[in-house]
Structure 1
């Protein structure tokens, strides 16, 4: 099987130290386990830019996951203004489409800690 890859869309920010990333759907919840090492990939350049360990994986509805976990998202780490959930919801709708990234859509939040 090998090491799993998690794609990130440029500009890639906030992927040092500890952070989370949101993925629409339940695929990663079924396929990642705590303690597993993963490669971090720039989806545009198709280049691996780092390695991380999975610290935890949570699944829930998109709006609830944003409310609970947006402040730790790699795109929101430097934004301590309390608007993290709203901003992340807009970003996820822009990336995935508003017809897909609906408030009740099953969403996986992956907590990672950068290794290299």
Structure 2
């Protein structure tokens, strides 16, 4: 299946940097997209052996999450050296602003 790829960088909050000695980290990336796509989030924190989970939510213009009418699902997650690919399905006929939240262990 040839799905389009959408790119973004993962952002981490100050609280994540301050507690970098912990084994579990979180970050997020914003995307404007629709349909079945591969979300490509880049970060030097990822290697092929990184364990990572992803959730997705629609956000408004102020990046506040809400549950809208579009159904959104995550299907597959694949970490690679320098990032992670996420197969997402956003069932809507126009682009939506979504936030993907990542939780990983190195």
Same fold, judged at TM 0.5 (above): no
Higher helix share: 1
**Structure with greater strand share of residues:** 2
Q: What TM-score do you get using the length of structure 2 for normalisation? A: 0.39
Provide the TM-score with structure 1 as the length reference.
Answer: 0.36
